[in-house]
Each structure stands twice: as C-alpha cells, then as structure tokens.
Amino acid sequence: MKIKKYLLALLLSSSAFLMTGSLGAEEMPVADEEAAVSIVTSADAALAGGDEFAADYLALLEAQGEYAYAFDFFTVSMLWTVIAAALVFVMHLGFATLEAGLTQQKNTVNILFKNVFIISIGIISYAIIGFNTHYPGDFNGWISFGSMIGDLNADGGNTFGYGGVGLAMTGYGDFIFQAMFAATAATIVSGAVAERVKLGSFMIFATLLVAIAYPVVGSWHWGGGWLGGLNGGNGFKDFAGSAVVHAFGGFAALACVMLLGPRTGKYVDGKIKPILGHSMPLATIGVFLLFLGWFGFNGGSVLSADPTSVGLVFTTTALAACGGALASILISWFFLKKPDLSMALNGFLAGLVGITANADIVSPMGSIIIGFIAGVIVVFSIIFFDKIKIDDPVGAISVHGVCGIWGILACALFDVTDSGFTIVGQLTGVLAVGAAAFLFSIIVFGLLKLTIGIRVSPEEEAEGLDICEHGQEAYPDFASSSR
C-alpha cells in the first residue's frame, strides 16, 4: 500500500515537472536574445555591487587575455581532455587484466608486473623525451629528438591560444592525454610475448620502443611530418591512432614473436595444442575496461569538447565495438562450431581498433559495417597466425596490427565527408608505420637476443615466470596452518 502511494506521488510530481518544463520551453525564444546581453551586464553590475565572486571570475577571464571570449568553451574542453586522459589510463588496467586472464596462472605476477612497469616508464619517458619528439614543431618530417618538457603553462600554454578550437586544452592537458597513449604501444607487445620472454630484456625493449620509436613514428603523422603529404596532399587520415598506436604496436609484437618463437608445448608434432588462459572472468573484465577506456581514447581525440564531434565519435566507437563482437560471435559459432568467448572479446577490440582511425568521419551505419568486418577479420587472422606458428597468446597481432590496417583503409572506404582519402595513400601510411615498428623491433630485440637473450630457459618456462623471475605466486595456496 505504501509503495503504491509513493509511486502515485512520484507520478504526480514528475508530470507537474514536465508541464512546467514545456511551458518554459515556449517562453524561451523571447528570453533568448536578451540573455547574452544580460549576462555581461549582470556581471558588471555584480562587480559594481562589490560581489567578490564576480571579481574572481572576471580575473580568470582576464588571465585568458585576448582569448577571454572562448573561456567557457576552453574550460569545458580542457576538463573533457583530462577526463579522457583518465579513461585512457583505465585502458592499462584493461590490458593488464585481459593479458592475465588469457595466460596461464603461473605467469600472472609476471604479466601484471610488466604492465606496471610499462605505464610507469611510458609516462616518464614521454616527459623526458617523448612529447617533444612526438610534437617537434618545425622539423624535417622524419626525425627530431626533443628534450624534457618545460613549463607548459608558460607563454600562453594555459590559454585558448595554445591550440584554438582544434586543440582546446592547455599544454599540460595536451601532454597528459598524449602520455597515456604512449604506453599503449608497448603494452600491446607485452601480451604477445607473454609466458616466455625474459623480464629484463623485455623491460629494455619496451623502454626503447616507448621512448624513441613510438614518438618518432608518431611525429610523421601527428607531429606534422611527412605522412601529411599523402593522399595527394589531403593528408594521411588516422583520427585516434589505428596506425600510429595500434598497427605500430601490432607490428612490433609480430617482430618480437618471430624472434622469440612459440611457447613450449604449443606446437607438438605439427599440431596446435591450445594453452588455455586461466581466467575468462579476468579477460572479460579487461575487455570491458578497454571498451570504457576507448571512449576516452577516441572521444578525447576530438581534442576539444566540440559538441558536433564528441557525440558522433562516442556513437561510432560503441557501434563498431558491438558490430565487431557480433561478427566474431557469428564467425566463431559457424566456422569453429562453438561460440567462443575469447573470440567474442577479441571481436569487441577488433571493432574498436577498426573505428579508431575514422570515428569522426563515418556514418553510424558505416561504423557498424567497419566494426563487423573487423570482427570477421580478427577471427580468421588469429587462426591464420596460429597455423603459421606465430604464437600470440592474446591475439594482439591480429587485433591491433591487422585490424589497425583495416581501420586505416576504412577511412578511404567509409568517409562521408569527401575529404579525398585514397586507398593507396592510406595503405602507404599504415605500411610505413608498420614497417618502421617491425624493423625497429627486429633490430633492437634481435640485438638483445644476440647479447643477453630474450627467452627464459625451458625449465623456467615450465615452472612459470612468477616463481622463477619474481619468486612470488599470484594465487598462493591457502595455508591452513596459518589460520
């Protein structure tokens, strides 16, 4: 009885609210024109009246100098940028849990440890060398090593003048958002080489990859480098990094796996023997966190809170992810006889990588198709790499490398803005990025292989890296004697 009364009250109050809402809407046009004028005059009046808050606000406006007119848009955009940066940070938790889930229990500490190291070295190296290498300003278009970041608030770096409408954030906002991206490339490699790579060698490789290779290759596109001349001068299209982040990481991973060889016991007498991941719940948590983080990865790449783009990018990102998962579910069900959860999870990621290059220039329908095709590609790609004995425990090469290429090509195929992106131009760009990542990795990881070695001993691999490299277990047995 009580509940019914409560519901009735709720219904009455909400309908009353709706009535007043619609009345308000009718009155709006009349008040609209006067509103703009009245804000300014009321601020002045408040100031004249000695309102100290008005003075504070006007002082903030004044600090923006000639850019005061854009102060509110700038503030909202800057806030969105740092929220997006935090979302991209969450992706690192997603990678950590996904990689841990899809590998064996005995290597869990090792996987998590690598993820802790990568985010740490990634952000610090980005401050020391990465940011100014990635965005060198005027340079030869190929390579220019930068130095440690200075005070990014100086010289108008804290005003709308830093980047205008196209990059509506402060220098520090720009830095932290980009820094979160940087570590992603090395994390992609971490999953592919899991369960047999020597920790020290991986740490050296990851450091060089994230500190040098990533920003140098990234500068070709986002830093105003030579990729801008592609597509007949229309510029290379890679919105949030299908090529310069994902394909880059995927091809680096491919090189490393080729040098490293498959896990012991994966291929016996020419047959594939699956090595099962130890926790599908962890893997699922990881993928959902990556999906969440991707809203920051793509949504933040609008580089402002531009209402036209942010909503579109969120929508295309989500649609492509769901299209990818559905395609992987269908393909694995029909071709592999079973609806495979790990494939469905990879389908989400495939769709997300596919839409990353083009999220701001495609239609909702286009994004579904892009995601769907990515979801089909990823299943066959994973099976293909398995067949040719490229042992990638988490499917990173297929998800990031292969679907990264697809995302770049989709810019030319699904563009609804008529920006003149061509298949040839797009392919040239992504292959250049992929080849650079592959070559850098072959050379650096190859040198490590020749010197300190890149693989643990067969005994250590059998025992598990947790005990051998770290002397720890992820899930120590319950010791009844201690209770």
The correct pick among 273, 364, 424, 458 for binding other proteins (CB under 8 A) is 273
* Site residues (CB under 8 A) for other proteins, limited to 362-401: 379, 382-383, 386, 395
Decide if 321 contacts 307 (C-beta within 8 A).
Answer: no
Which residues 6+ apart lie within 8 Å of 321 measured at CB? 291, 294, 348, 349, 351, 352, 355, 371
The correct pick among 174, 195, 340, 360 for binding other proteins (CB under 8 A) is 340
The correct pick among 21, 49, 50, 274 for binding other proteins (CB under 8 A) is 274
We find the least distance from the C-beta atom of residue 185 to other proteins, in angstroms, to be 24
Q: Distance between alpha carbon 103 and the CA centroid of its chain, in Å? A: 22
192 near other proteins (CB under 8 A): no
Determine the interface stretch with other proteins among 172-180, 268-276, 350-358, 454-462 (rule: CB under 8 A): 268-276
Q: Which is nearer to other proteins, 13 or 273 (CB)?
A: 273
Q: Which is nearer to other proteins, 125 or 342 (CB)?
A: 342
Q: Which is nearer to other proteins, 10 or 276 (CB)?
A: 276
Nearest CA among 177, 199, 3 for reference residue 81: 177
Q: Distance between alpha carbon 219 and the CA centroid of its chain, in Å? A: 17
C-alpha distance from residue 162 to each of 155, 169, 194, 479 (Å) = 9, 7, 41, 59
We find the least distance from the C-beta atom of residue 274 to other proteins, in angstroms, to be 4
We find the least distance from the C-beta atom of residue 383 to other proteins, in angstroms, to be 5
The correct pick among 2, 4, 5, 338 for binding other proteins (CB under 8 A) is 338
C-alpha distance from residue 383 to each of 109, 189, 262, 334, 336 (Å) = 28, 19, 15, 14, 10
Size of the site for other proteins (CB under 8 A): 17
The correct pick among 203, 272, 439, 467 for binding other proteins (CB under 8 A) is 272
Q: Distance between alpha carbon 474 and the CA centroid of its chain, in Å? A: 27
The correct pick among 45, 276, 424, 462 for binding other proteins (CB under 8 A) is 276
Q: Which is nearer to other proteins, 367 or 381 (CB)?
A: 381
What tokens were used for 358?
Answer: 């083009």
Q: Residues 13-45, buried b or exposed e (16+ Cβ, 10 A)? A: eeeeeeeeeeeeeeeeeeeeeeeeeeeeeebee
The correct pick among 81, 298, 316, 342 for binding other proteins (CB under 8 A) is 342
We find the least distance from the C-beta atom of residue 98 to other proteins, in angstroms, to be 14
We find the least distance from the C-beta atom of residue 270 to other proteins, in angstroms, to be 13
Q: Could you give the 3-state DSSP secondary structure of residue 272?
A: strand
We find the least distance from the C-beta atom of residue 387 to other proteins, in angstroms, to be 9
Residue with the two structure tokens 């580089």? 303
Q: Distance between alpha carbon 326 and the CA centroid of its chain, in Å? A: 21
Q: Which is nearer to other proteins, 361 or 382 (CB)?
A: 382
CA distance 129 to 444: 19
292 near other proteins (CB under 8 A): no
We find the least distance from the C-beta atom of residue 19 to other proteins, in angstroms, to be 57
Which residues 6+ apart lie within 8 Å of 464 measured at CB? 104, 105, 106, 107
Say which amino acid occupies 258.
M
Determine how many CB atoms are found less than 10 A away from the CB of residue 203: 17
Q: Which is nearer to other proteins, 107 or 358 (CB)?
A: 107
Determine the interface stretch with other proteins among 107-115, 181-189, 267-275, 475-483 (rule: CB under 8 A): 267-275
Q: Which is nearer to other proteins, 78 or 374 (CB)?
A: 374
344 near other proteins (CB under 8 A): no
Residues 150-169 as x/- pattern, contact with other proteins by CB under 8 A? --------------------
Which residues 6+ apart lie within 8 Å of 140 measured at CB? none
CA distance 29 to 32: 5
We find the least distance from the C-beta atom of residue 287 to other proteins, in angstroms, to be 14
We find the least distance from the C-beta atom of residue 128 to other proteins, in angstroms, to be 39
Residues 316-335 as x/- pattern, contact with other proteins by CB under 8 A? ----------------x---
Determine how many CB atoms are found less than 10 A away from the CB of residue 412: 19
Residue ranges in contact with other proteins by CB under 8 A: 272-274, 276-277, 332, 336-338, 340, 342-343, 379, 382-383, 386, 395
